[in-house]
Chain A
Amino acid sequence: MKSLKMAVACISILAMSAMAMAGTLDDVKAKGYVDVGINGSLFGFGMPDEKGEMKGLDVDTAKAIAAAVFGDASKVKFTALTAVQRLPALQSKEIDVLCRNTTQTLSRETQSGLNFVQPNYYDGQGFLVPKALGVKSAKELDGATVCVLPGTTTEMNAADFFRANNMKWSPVVIENTAELNKAFFAGRCDALTSDLSQLAGNRSVAPNPADYMLLPEVISKEPLAPVVRHGDDQWFDIVNWTMFALIEAEELGITSENVDEMLDSENPSIKRFLGVTPGMGEMLGLDNKWAYNIVKQVGNYGEIFERNVGPDTPLAIPRGLNALWTDGGLMYASPIR
């Protein structure tokens, strides 16, 4: 009979766990930290530095969410995920939000039951080749062997590109980024294809980065955005408006350094943004100081970009599409009002 009792107990526990379907914000507050899925091995986006501290554009985005929710950017727990693991991890509630250079697509939003917020990086796919190959354009890659990561939009973009140009190719698909890089640098493939931001990172770890060059073609649009699950609109709003707050801060000229002076500003937009005029944070279910905390502790979008991938970093990526709309880029925050 003991086993019977055990079974009944098990079933009731399972039933209860399914019933405990509170909102993500309540879960996060109860836990005391935000569970964030990140890349873990992509320089500039999510990778530990030499002190073992997570650094990167996606990491800072995650910290901004923690700052908005808790007023403390350090209340984040990072989980490193491969491209293949990332979506199931979010679907199964292992993580609360995914900040892992993930491209927004129609099928991911519908079939996978996910919502993408405002992109934190606009990317595009390209090809990295050894200079010795003597290829000047991706159109010359007919018959080439191309190294590619599995489980990414990259795989399908490459297939589409070669099909559209009526060229043959054969992919070498390796799940681990480091193993894939090794195979490419050893000459297993003629070209490596990925998002341009990643290729810059891959090239920087080559035995001799000067031996490799990017081909001019950009074969796809890759809006990389944080992702949340379907069905929790409040949590979606928080993550989405955290992204807008980062951009808005840059538009308003608020930085982590001048944010305290800005508290005295007479500009009504700034007063609303920093919570001097209360109301905005409450509407999100957060503290009115939410945006102040984001900027104070993490900085605005421009600061995050410069710190992680900008011209002063080894990646040296120009702002390009990721500049503010006023500077000819795509970063455009909806009004916080």
Chain B
Amino acid sequence: MTPSESEPKVPFWLDPGKRAIGFQIITCLMVGLLAWYLVNNTLVNMEKQSIASGFGFLEREAAFEIGESLIEYSASDTYAKALFVGVLNTLKVSFIGIVLCLIIGLFIGVARLSTNWLVKKLAMIYIEVMQNIPVLLQLFFWYALFYEMFPSPRQALNPMAGLFLCNRGVALAVPASHPAYFQMFIAMILGLALGFGLKHWVKKRKFATGRDFPVLWPFLGLSLGLPLLVWVLHGAPIQMDVPELKGFNFQGGIMLSPEFFALLLGLVIYTSAFVAEAVRAGIQAVSRGQTEAAMSIGLKKKHILNLVILPQALRVIIPPLTSQMLNLTKNSSLAIAIGYPDFVSVANTTINQTGQSIEGVAMIMACYLFFSVSTSIFMNWYNKKSKLVER
């Protein structure tokens, strides 16, 4: 008897493996059918009411202005460009927001564990208050504060040379454009690359020979010194572009709007409270025994933090941190309440002018999905990198 004949013949519907495959195929078919049905139904209904569909409108002239933009934009540009302006505005506020929020969150989180009673309580109050006020209310508060507190452009506050505060925003003097700045930027990137290369080399050498080499100072020297050198070589240009009151508003320099400030402030203050809690949880998750063990083998304080505490704390901190970064990005869509022209705001206007809400909403969803998934992928990669390597 061959082995195959020795087994009793099992009908395929009683074989759990085959049955599972069968059910999966059925599920896929059902989902596909449902999706097809919904899409088809929508298209038929839209045709019945003769509502336009498709993305042809992207090529048409937008014919509306956008308050602030990182790129050159006017009402005669296309809807596609208007939407791109919106995407850039969302990225601008999210990126700056995330960076500030990490810095403030880390600071408050560490302060929350301080042995100083006052510092500890202040951090606690900050966290409890900011975490528990809905972010939309905070946005309204900061926005109202901005336009109620500051004077009109003609009576703008001028706390220091080149800085003007008024209810139209903050006008800042910036260095007037000069070819040196672009080269300085290149030099800085070069410096950073060299710095990271050095760090890598130092680590490798230390693993091989056990000898140490200072990293911090050469790193700073390279990344800051090189641009400085380029600046000096260009004859140290110090010409500034100073904002000036012309007509209704300031011209020249850069102008940051109250909407941008209110949104940034609201998002950063709200989210940093959550980040602070994540940081505290991470540090507290490392048991005291770890510190004591590290001390007992004679590690320096700096090394205890770098080699023992932080690597273990980061494992705990990173996952909640990722979700806070995603939260901040998604919450930035509340911008429409206070008039910051983010992607949702521009897309909403587009929907209204073209009447194509399905395409518009689909674009909004796709865009935020893209932001979220790319943040997620990056953070997952970082998380994997800092995971505990078990030997």
Contacts and interface: CB of A to CB of B under 8 A. Distances in A.
11 contacts: A14-B37, A83-B352, A110-B50, A111-B52, A113-B46, A150-B345, A151-B351, A159-B75, A173-B339, A182-B144, A183-B339
B49 A172 contact: no
A156 B63 contact: yes
B163 interface: no
B248 A14 contact: no
A31 to B, nearest CB: 20
A186 B148 contact: yes
A175 interface: yes
Given A87-B352, A91-B357, A14 B41 contact: yes
Given A145-B248, A170-B67, A187-B152, A112 B51 contact: yes
A9 interface: no
B323 interface: no
Contacts of A205: none
Contacts of B183: none
B214 interface: no
B349 A150 contact: yes
Contact of B168 (A145, A150, A156, A176): A145
Contacts of B302: none
B337 interface: yes
Contacts of B63: 156, 159-160
Nearest to A132: B152
Contacts of A150: 336, 345, 348-349, 352
Contact of A179 (B38, B49, B140): B140
Given A4-B26, A159-B75, A143 B247 contact: yes
A158 interface: yes
Top 10 A-B residue pairs of the complex, sorted by shortest distance between their CB atoms? A112-B355, A151-B352, A113-B51, A113-B49, A159-B75, A174-B339, A143-B247, A111-B52, A188-B147, A186-B147
A11 interface: yes
Contacts of A230: 49-51
Interface string A152-165: 10011011101100
B352 A18 contact: no
Contacts, number: 145
For A14, A143, A173, the residue with the greatest tally of chain B CB atoms inside 10 Å of its CB is A173
Nearest to A186: B147
B68 A156 contact: no
A63 interface: no
B37 A11 contact: yes
Contact of B348 (A84, A114, A145): A84
A241 B17 CA distance: 68
B75 A110 contact: no
B64 A190 contact: no
Contacts of B338: 174, 179
A114 B352 CA distance: 13
Interface in A82-120: 83-84, 87-88, 91, 107-108, 110-114
B158 interface: no
A163 B75 contact: yes
Contacts of A182: 144
B49 A187 contact: no
Contact of B41 (A18, A174, A175): A18
